[in-house]
Structure 1
Amino acid sequence: MLTLEATCTTLSDSNAKYLAKVTDLESRSRWNNIRIIGLPESIEGPRPSSFFSQLQFDILGKDVLSSQPEIDRTHRALIGKPVAGEKPRTVIIRLHRYQQKELIIREARAKRGRLMFQGSPITIYEDYAPELMVQRTKYRGVMTELYKLGLRPTQLFPARLSIRTKDESRMSFSSVSEAEEYVASTRTDSP
């Protein structure tokens, strides 16, 4: 029985290590990807890479992108095609140059809620692995509280929280519980 328990412990540790490695590798393979939400189905036509390259150039403008971004490949999210009236699938785009991806993401954050295509709002996000998204989503509640306190939280890769305090110093948290403790202590310190 002791041998079996030791083997299970070893296998469990190995499994956790390999799961972390696979998540890291998947995240790295998505490094140049962006997601666009809100674009109608089938607007891209027979040449989606050309269409989405021109679309980004038109939406973000010449002042952000000096030329159309090079796109390696593009596709819709791998779910069933929606019927009429349902939300369109997300577009996933792999950009050839990481620097262009960063420019696009930075501008999309600055214009959040103001990017439009044919009168419909669209949003552009970074593409993360599903396991990583679960980890990052855990910070939503505490980030809301930090915004209410007048602080400026940002999420760092893979799933860490950083804030800029009112005196412009930076603090970093590696877990949600650390951030929640900081929020609680900040509330009690406030008059």
Structure 2
Amino acid sequence: MRDLWDNIKWANLRIIGIPEGVEIDKGMENIFEEIITGSFPNLKDTEFKIQEAQRAPNKLNPKRPTPRHIIIKMAKVSDKERILKAAREKQNVTYKGTSIRLSADFSTETLQARREWQEIFKVLKGKNIQPRILCPARISFKIEGEIKIFSNKQKLKEYSNTKPRLKEILKGLL
């Protein structure tokens, strides 16, 4: 079910940090265009087709102090990938002086699965093993000259049992 939901959201782009109510005057498509032209000058000549733009979730949660995210459904996945690549390269994206984040839109289950890799990711990064979290929720890293990819912690644990150095690094995390 998670794979199906992520497949539906594959072309979606999530914008985090745009203040509430800004879209009433300008419209979300115009806000998106302002972000692209203001933050990514190398992409401003590109015409991006947007199928849909909306705030998510539909109702405002008073217990949540942050603004609701904006979901942009792109016509082409390649456009979303180019924007995300430009955002990673720039690192600090802003909209009218406010720092915002651009990310891929995943299902709640996938986001939770990605979060489960965070502690392991931090430890591996600290040991300079070059970890990466791949889509949708796999971890990869380089060890002994080869790149290893794991989709769950059990497989990583089985592999780490064959590598004493890795087992020592991940002690207590698996």
Per the TM alignment, residue 177 of structure 1 is displaced from its structure 2 partner at its CA by 4.1
Give the match for residue 94 of structure 2. 116
**1:22-171 to 2 correspondence within 5 Å?**
22-45=1-24, 48-81=27-60, 86-112=65-91, 114-165=92-143, 167=145, 169-171=146-148
Structure number, greater radius of gyration: 1
Aligned amino acid, residue 171 of structure 1 = K
Number of residue pairs aligned between Structure 1 and Structure 2: 165
SS in 2 for 1:73: strand
Instruction: Provide Cα deviations, 1:32-79, integer angstroms capped at 9, x if missing partner.
Output: 001111111121235634313412322342313532421111111115
TM-score by length of structure 1 reads 0.74
SS in 2 for 1:104: helix
Per the TM alignment, residue 110 of structure 1 is displaced from its structure 2 partner at its CA by 2.2
- Which 10-residue stretch deviates more, 176-185 or 96-105? 176-185
Q: Which gives a bigger RCO, structure 1 or 2 (Cα 8 Å, sep 6+)?
A: 2
> Mind listing any 5+ residue stretches in structure 1 that lack a counterpart?
1-21
> Mind listing any 5+ residue stretches in structure 2 that lack a counterpart?
170-174
Identity of aligned residues (%): 23
Instruction: Provide Cα deviations, 1:116-147, integer angstroms capped at 9, x if missing partner.
Output: 11111100111001111111111010000011
SS in 1 for 2:42: coil
Q: Say which structure is richer in strand.
A: 2
